[in-house]
Chains A and B, each alone.
Chain A
Amino acid sequence: MKKIYRIFVLAAIVAAAFALGFITLTTGTRPILAAGPAEKLASSNEVRIDNFSFGPTTLSIPVGATITWTNHDDVPHVIASDDKLFKSNALDTDDRFSFTFTKPGTYNYYCAMHPKMTAKIVVQ
């Protein structure tokens, strides 16, 4: 009987914590309900660097859009366009680089430190 009582008390504490906002169910670090349309738009202009790869490898964007690259690796990377239009500094872990594309075209780019890493931005 004592045991059942204890479980009840525990459940009550957890329920109270939810009600008071001490515990929030999350995906990653963001609360579920916070993922609105603005955030989705932002993520479509982002390129992730993971495991020595750009993702996505081809990204289509409208003229005037700004792309942001974020390095999630434990090693630095340098983003450089084949035509030398843009080149980042060395991006350490979690560092970002942004570039705004003002003219239509296909922009091939690579990592100047690890040139096997290649991808492209298509501006329409």
Chain B
Amino acid sequence: MADIIRDNINKDGIDRRGFLQCMAWAGTGVLYTVHGGILKSLTLAPGGQYGDRMSEMKEADFSFIQISDSHIGFNKDANPDVTATLQIAIDRINSAATPPDFLLHTGDISQLSKPSEFDTAQQILKGAKAGKIFFVPGEHDVLTDDGLQYLNRFGKDTKGQGWYSFDHKGAHFIGLVNVMNLKAGGLGSLGPDQLKWLEDDVRNLKSSTPVIVFAHIPLWMVYPDWGWGTDDSEQALGYLRRFGSVSVLNGHIHQIMQKVEGNVTFHTALSTAFPQPAPGTAPSPGPMKVPADQLRSVLGITHVNYIQGQHSLAVVDSTLA
């Protein structure tokens, strides 16, 4: 099943067909591989082909896991115990046969930036069997002191308001911050300082270097009416278009979505806390309540395998059910 955007009337990167496909995946998990911008996907039914496919991925040069939107401190109907579901996610990560090289947390660690919420999150995340955890902030993490507390806890050795890059086994990772200094009426924002830094950061990289960008709010226009996009993301992507393989990993919208645009693949992860409605299907993007016995089927983590040489990145979303 090749997913190509055929109609894009709203210029939001989603046609109706593609959108329904994305939604069909929620709750089942999806594996997709990227070869030179052509995307192949396979829906993974619970207890189905997942195990077989995962064994195919053993040849990967390395793997990492994206985890997002833990919202520690949230205690409303949609999930009265977000600490427990974060713990389940970490248990899943720890049960993998091959531990990931590291974790990426794409923001909204906490609900209200309270020290106690960050303490709880750090305590649970510390139990993950992974070399390191890299973070970018969500808008819920920078509610006090212009994000200083976030920087002290999760963003040491970063630039500006928390952006940075690092290299891992031949791939270049870039963590961006698009939740600070948001303008009235606008969307997510990177800002001129960060854009300048990004341009310089990638200037001397070979175009064959695989680039993986991660940030909280989607760096593509998922649904601007709900603020699901970033105002100046096009400028950032402009600096990355020359690269043969760019993967963009985001959170914020608590559901799986993906889009391929040339050599750039966009992907959003599930939350470990609560689901949010599909664009336009509810009066607001607020937390979506599902029956308690179904909650874990709409929460999840994202497993990413990188195979060097093939420029191939395999992304597997799996739920906590």
The residues of A with any CB-CB pair to B shorter than 8 Å are 51-53, 73-76, 78, 82, 89-90, 92-93, 108-110, 112-116, 118
Given A52-B286, A82-B184: A114 and B227 interface contact (C-beta under 8 Å): yes
Given A110-B184, A110-B185: A76 and B111 interface contact (C-beta under 8 Å): yes
Q: Is the CB of B187 within 8 A of A90?
A: no
B140 contacts partner chain A, Cβ-Cβ < 8 Å: yes
A87 CA to B25 CA in the complex, in Å?
40
For A110, give the chain B residue with the smallest CB separation.
B184
**Interface pairs (8), CB distance under 8 Å:** A52-B286, A76-B111, A90-B113, A110-B184, A114-B227, A115-B183, A115-B186, A116-B186
State the main secondary structure of chain A at its contact with B: loop
Q: Is the CB of A116 within 8 A of B287?
A: no
Neighbouring B residues of A89 by C-beta, 8 Å: 143
- The interface bits of chain B over 180-200 (1 if a CB of A lies within 8 angstroms of the residue's CB, else 0) are 001111110000000000000
A118 CA to B186 CA in the complex, in Å?
10
A84 CA to B284 CA in the complex, in Å?
26
Q: Is the CB of B225 within 8 A of A75?
A: no
Partner of B112, one of A73, A76, A110: A76
Q: Is the CB of A75 within 8 A of B187?
A: no
Nearest 3 A-B pairs (CB), nearest first? A51-B284, A110-B184, A52-B284
Given A76-B111, A76-B140, A90-B113: A115 and B285 interface contact (C-beta under 8 Å): no
Neighbouring A residues of B183 by C-beta, 8 Å: 115
Neighbouring A residues of B76 by C-beta, 8 Å: 74, 93
Neighbouring A residues of B225 by C-beta, 8 Å: 116
The residues of B with any CB-CB pair to A shorter than 8 Å are 76-78, 111-113, 139-140, 143, 182-187, 224-227, 283-287
Q: In angstroms, how far is the closest chain B Cβ from the Cβ of A47? A: 16
Neighbouring A residues of B111 by C-beta, 8 Å: 76
Given A74-B287, A75-B286, A116-B225: A108 and B143 interface contact (C-beta under 8 Å): no
Neighbouring A residues of B187 by C-beta, 8 Å: 115-116
For A51, give the chain B residue with the smallest CB separation.
B284
Neighbouring A residues of B143 by C-beta, 8 Å: 76, 78, 89-90, 113
Question: In the complex, which of the residues B112, B184, B187, B284 has the most CB atoms of chain A within 10 Å of its own CB atom?
Answer: B184
Partner of A108, one of B112, B184, B186, B283: B184
Q: Is the CB of B227 within 8 A of A115?
A: yes
Given A74-B76, A76-B111, A93-B76: A52 and B285 interface contact (C-beta under 8 Å): yes
A23 CA to B224 CA in the complex, in Å?
49
Neighbouring B residues of A52 by C-beta, 8 Å: 226, 284-286
A71 CA to B271 CA in the complex, in Å?
23
Given A74-B286, A115-B184: A90 and B227 interface contact (C-beta under 8 Å): no
Neighbouring A residues of B284 by C-beta, 8 Å: 51-53, 73
Q: Is the CB of A118 within 8 A of B184?
A: yes
Q: In angstroms, how far is the closest chain A Cβ from the Cβ of B180? A: 10
For A113, give the chain B residue with the smallest CB separation.
B139
Q: Is the CB of A113 within 8 A of B184?
A: no
Neighbouring B residues of A73 by C-beta, 8 Å: 284, 286
Given A90-B143, A116-B227: A51 and B184 interface contact (C-beta under 8 Å): no
Q: Is the CB of A51 within 8 A of B283?
A: yes
Given A74-B286, A93-B76: A115 and B182 interface contact (C-beta under 8 Å): yes
